[in-house]
Structure 1
Amino acid sequence: MNYKLLVAKALHEQIGETLTVEKIFALLEKPKTAEHGDVAFPTFILAKEFKKAPQQIATDLGEKISSIIIEKIEVVGPYLNFFLDKKIVSAAVLADVLEKGEHYGDLAIGENRNVPIDMSSPNIAKPISMGHLRSTVIGNALANIYSKVGYRPIKINHLGDWGTQFGKLIVAYKLWGNAEAIDAEPITELLRLYVKFHAIAEEQPELNEDARIWFKKLEDGNEEAVSLWEWFREESLKEFNHIYDMIDIQFDAISGEAFYNDKMDEVIDLLEEKNLLKINQKASIVDLDKYNLNPALIKKSDGATLYITRDLAAAFYRKRNYDFAQSLYVVGNEQSNHFNQLNAVLKEMGLPWADDMQHIAFGLITQGGKKLSTRQGKIVLLEEVLNEAINLAGKQISEKNPDLPNKDEVAKQVGIGAVIFHDLKNDRLNNFDFVLEEVVRFEGETGPYVQYTRARAMSILRKAGNPTTNSEDTYTLNDSYSWEIIKLLQEYPTIVKKSYEKREPSIIAKHSLQLAQAFNRYYANSKVLIEDAEKLARLALVQSVATILKEDLRLLGVKSPDQM
């Protein structure tokens, strides 16, 4: 039951064709306090049409509107405040959740169309750092959300396995590296070489030219360059897969920039056919002046390709192979110009699907307010953060529940879940500072708080003997604490749709926090297991909360232990 829609229809019957039901629905507001009702309608927009003061319109409408779900209407100035019948609404909402279970909130918007999601994309020969966390978990959450609204997400790990940085790494290895050190600690040693290159290149800039030469050799298939590149790539993938296993994220395709090496000529030929390529200082560019963008550099003066060349090839490949409805790129804010250029070049080529490609930008994770930088060696390794989070979660679990079965597994679910949840509860475009001790707390606006709340709900159901509650029975509640929960449950399909439309997982995370807080207030003020006529209704409410909290967390990529 969408009670807001029913209120909108009741209003429409009295307002007439001046406003559609959809327009009325969009105008409905949530009052700031429960004392002002459950839904409010501002009448300002009707003043011109009705030729009356908004206050008078509100009074007139308040006398005429009626609906089975409306208990009473209060007129406060220009507002109509609707108080809903708690028993009718609670019975309908609980029946809906119990019937649909984890599929409550599912939508058919996507019609099973494909949506490639370019996400994670770590660079070969560098460890996965906290800097990679956002793209990985935002991309995974969006894949889950897109699936829930009816799309077929295709998670693509577009590895950074090509480019001038590999020329730098080859030069660094040939100057200062040795095979034994790399065999012993591959990623640590490769990172050391990369950082050393940049430090020394500050005083010896000629090293950058050597790196460009070696990358060109790599592009041309030089045997030594290719052999080193393959070695660096293989060792890196071993570490990447270990981290992905920890956070339980899988990909449908792992294909880096190198995959598109033999697919770039088609794009360049098309650009030439359409007379879009221009030569500027021996380099090939596409002029994007009319988009207020700098020219897109397609080929350097030495013939070497660039990131955008490979991304153009990737766009063609994905459209051809997936015939996508949308194509998402979950990449940091700082790459906005790159994706603006990418879209502009595709538009210049006359491709209508250019607008279906969307850059899902996000802010930075900072430490002490400062950006983390691989180049300068200031890197926070994701694996170390996850292990420390698991350790902190384990200590708290041992204090709260020393006899908990599978304590280590639960600590892993809670610790890793805490890191993921903290990232996703923040609005995607915002920067945020990361302090691990705050992230893994069991109190406050944290993942462990939501997990613990759900585990508490499961504990209540176990104590009640896991009673059978189903959608065929009628469960009615009318107390104020359960009502706050009912409203949050009823709102869930709208929350799912909004998180999809805004490409914003934090909407789901915030809903889970609000639901957990409302449930804990309910639990503190209600005797759930007392034997009376409403006992099964209360247990139906607990079951519904446990179901939706688990689904909220699943969409975010966070596990829900039954006991904590």
Structure 2
Amino acid sequence: MKTKLAGIISLALEESYSTQEIEGLLETPKHTGLGDLAFPCFTLAKAYKKSPTLIAEELATKIHGKFIKEVRVENAYINVFFNQLQFAKEVIHNVLVHKNQYGGKPKNGQMVVLDFSSPNIAKPFSMGHLRSTVIGNALANISEKQGYEATRINHLGDWGTQFGKLIVAYQLWGNKEAIEQNPIEELFKIYVKFHDEAVHNEALNNQARLTFKALEEGNDEMLSLWKWFRLASLKEFEQIYNMLGVSFDSFSGEAFYNDKMEFVVEELTEKELLEESDGAMVVQLENMPPCLITKKDGATLYATRDLAAALYRHKMYQPAKLFYIVGNEQSLHFKQLFAILKKMGYAFAENCEHIPFGMMLKDGKKMSTRKGKVVLLADVLKETIEAAKNNIEVKNPGLLNKAAVANEVGIGAVIFNDLKNDRMNDIEFSIEKMVTFEGETGPYIQYTNARIHTLLAKGEFTLSDSYLHYLDTEAWEIIKLLESFPNVVENAFSQASPAIIAKYSLSLARSFNKYYANTKFLTGESLEKDRLKVAYAVSIVLEESLRLLGIKAPKEM
């Protein structure tokens, strides 16, 4: 709608302003009585050396087309009213013909690599890991919708001094049989015990550092324990990912780059970027602290591994974009990482982007694995699924496939509760909010879509043609929302914000429910088919919105 009108205005101005420039100036009026779109003429006054009001009056006479019903001038604004039926015909036709392809772009032959989720092995998958997982998964889906190929990488936290701590904890307090029966819970228990004991016994930390150094150097006993911890963790993580419907192309974590870091250090040395600082080696950076590359004992760090990973991914995938979906507390780390890549002479650093997000809080504080203050994601998912089951038993006890629907609704509630928030905002953990299935929730959108499917079934709807012949005035807001979907997806990608799609889906569901409440759909009249076509188009876009967010859309609830 905006692009079409911008093109008409650009042509009327003899292309002295491009369609894109005009589109950037167009506004949506606060009141429908002021039109569907408005063009303020203030910007043109300097170039045309006339008053904005006079420019508006002259320009308004040149704005016409089959989609334009009326043009009014108010002060320096040109208010444009669209021909609703004519416009709705094209929008509904596009949605019904393209179905779930609507709003997308053709494949562009480029790749987006996304680094997300990345839990630490031998630690439980907590609510703290949810944000990276669902934001990253949604951005991967959105990237594909925009024509990119998406490569999903789970950069597991499977290396570092914490494994020295875990191995020492196992050697001191571990029970092999108990760990084999319940690996994550038992490993987590002894990890927490290590930190409790280390508060009063600094020797434990020294022992852990030496143990990790032995692990880095390939000690057989240490490697054997590490492999066991990793395999046990992955099996448990896979259960969570299967529940969430999240998959990965690679589980290459920090350990994968263990034999690739030496080359990074050598290259930094050759390019004279390394400096000694108190026995450690650092890279000096402008307007930020120096970045530590190796410790005094020669052990590598997080930054060394991320440099190796970035270089490997660039060589392996040649991505157009490389997204790191990691919490905002790591912002400095990624600024340093990208700055070092630039200093090394790698132009692809410009294509690297940190996608930060706020924390999941409990009682106003960050959840801490180290202190044992975690809420397990698996427990939350079980609770929301159970709440969905209870809801179904009350409202629709005769529903077939109750268990499958409860899974889709309960898990969708958790995912949507996260993604509806602007990602930079912190979220206070609340199981009560997650299991509320009314208001601004995923189940509300799922229910709206299921209601439409029930309506279509009752009306025995079949798609004989994809054009409207009639449009209720009450459906006009729906048409405008459907038409905006391609721009919504594009903005969600450019701003790396799934919340844009989540909020859009709420608006579309609310708009349809308002229309549904005030309209008789199943009248037997000829206009019934047109109303059902609008409903069907809404269902298509709601289902695609949910799919992009990583949420299922049951046909019945």
TM-score past 0.5 threshold? yes
Residue 13 of structure 1: CA displacement? Answer: 2.8
SS in 2 for 1:366: strand
Task: Say whether the 8 Å CA contact 2:126–2:377 is kept in structure 1.
Answer: yes
Report the residue type matching 2:3 in the other structure.
L
Q: What is aligned with 1:372?
A: 367
SS in 2 for 1:387: helix
Residue 9 of structure 1: CA displacement? Answer: 2.0
1:285 has 2:282 as partner: yes
1:258 has 2:274 as partner: no
Q: What is aligned with 1:547?
A: 540
Task: Say whether the 8 Å CA contact 1:440–1:447 is kept in structure 2.
Answer: no
Residue 19 of structure 1: CA displacement? Answer: 1.6
Q: How does 1:40-59 map to 2 (within 5 A)?
A: 40-59=38-57
| Counterpart selection for 1:106 from 94, 100, 104 | 104
SS in 2 for 1:253: coil
Residue 469 of structure 1: CA displacement? Answer: 4.0
- CA change 1:366–1:477 in 2 (3 A) is farther
Q: What is aligned with 1:523?
A: 516
Calculate percent identity across the aligned residue pairs. Answer: 52
Q: What is aligned with 1:180?
A: 177
1:328 has 2:323 as partner: yes
Residue 61 of structure 1: CA displacement? Answer: 2.3
Q: What is aligned with 2:550?
A: 557
Gaps of 5+ in 1: none
Q: What is aligned with 2:305?
A: 310
Task: Say whether the 8 Å CA contact 2:471–2:531 is kept in structure 1.
Answer: no
Residues in 2 aligned to 1:464 and 1:30: alpha-carbon distance in whole angstroms: 35
Q: How does 1:225-304 map to 2 (within 5 A)?
A: 225-288=222-285, 290=286, 292-304=287-299
Q: What is aligned with 1:77?
A: 75
Residue 547 of structure 1: CA displacement? Answer: 0.5
Residues in 2 aligned to 1:247 and 1:421: alpha-carbon distance in whole angstroms: 12
| Counterpart selection for 1:158 from 147, 151, 155 | 155
Residues in 1 aligned to 2:302 and 2:417: alpha-carbon distance in whole angstroms: 31
| Counterpart selection for 1:503 from 496, 508, 514 | 496
Q: Detail structure 1 runs of 4+ shifted over 3 Å in the superposition.
A: none
SS in 1 for 2:211: helix
Gaps of 5+ in 2: none
Q: What is aligned with 1:491?
A: 484
Residue 146 of structure 1: CA displacement? Answer: 0.5
1:212 has 2:206 as partner: no
TM-score, length-scaled by structure 2: 0.98
SS in 1 for 2:150: strand
Q: What is aligned with 2:37?
A: 39
Report the residue type matching 1:131 in the other structure.
G
SS in 2 for 1:429: coil
Q: What is aligned with 1:132?
A: 129
Q: What is aligned with 1:121?
A: 118
Q: How does 1:426-465 map to 2 (within 5 A)?
A: 426-465=421-460
| Counterpart selection for 1:196 from 193, 198, 201 | 193
* 1:213-249 per-position Cα deviation (integer Å, ceiling 9, x unaligned): 1100100111221111111111111110111111111
Task: Say whether the 8 Å CA contact 2:471–2:530 is kept in structure 1.
Answer: no
Residues in 2 aligned to 1:470 and 1:558: alpha-carbon distance in whole angstroms: 30
Residues in 1 aligned to 2:330 and 2:65: alpha-carbon distance in whole angstroms: 52
Residue 477 of structure 1: CA displacement? Answer: 3.7
| Counterpart selection for 1:97 from 73, 95, 98 | 95
Residues in 1 aligned to 2:461 and 2:525: alpha-carbon distance in whole angstroms: 17
Give the length in aligned residue pairs: 557
Report the residue type matching 1:546 in the other structure.
S
Task: Say whether the 8 Å CA contact 1:99–1:470 is kept in structure 2.
Answer: no
Residue 535 of structure 1: CA displacement? Answer: 1.6
Q: What is aligned with 2:22?
A: 24
* 1:125-157 per-position Cα deviation (integer Å, ceiling 9, x unaligned): 101000000111111101100001111100011
Q: What is aligned with 1:7?
A: 5
| Counterpart selection for 1:223 from 197, 220, 224 | 220
Q: Structure 1 stretch 159-168 or stretch 369-378: which is displaced more?
A: 369-378
| Counterpart selection for 1:345 from 340, 344, 351 | 340
* 1:426-456 per-position Cα deviation (integer Å, ceiling 9, x unaligned): 1111112132222232320100000000001
Q: What is aligned with 1:416?
A: 411
* 1:261-302 per-position Cα deviation (integer Å, ceiling 9, x unaligned): 1111111111111111112222111111x2x12111111111
Residue 328 of structure 1: CA displacement? Answer: 0.8
* 1:371-415 per-position Cα deviation (integer Å, ceiling 9, x unaligned): 111111110000000000001111111111110000011000000
1:354 has 2:316 as partner: no
The Cα RMSD (Å) is 1.3
Task: Say whether the 8 Å CA contact 1:425–1:505 is kept in structure 2.
Answer: yes
SS in 2 for 1:284: strand
SS in 1 for 2:260: helix
Report the residue type matching 2:4 in the other structure.
L
TM-score, length-scaled by structure 1: 0.97
SS in 1 for 2:43: helix
Residues in 2 aligned to 1:353 and 1:318: alpha-carbon distance in whole angstroms: 11
Q: Structure 1 stretch 167-176 or stretch 326-335: which is displaced more?
A: 167-176
Residue 76 of structure 1: CA displacement? Answer: 2.3
Residues in 2 aligned to 1:41 and 1:513: alpha-carbon distance in whole angstroms: 28
SS in 1 for 2:324: strand
| Counterpart selection for 1:481 from 437, 460, 474 | 474
Task: Say whether the 8 Å CA contact 1:142–1:503 is kept in structure 2.
Answer: yes
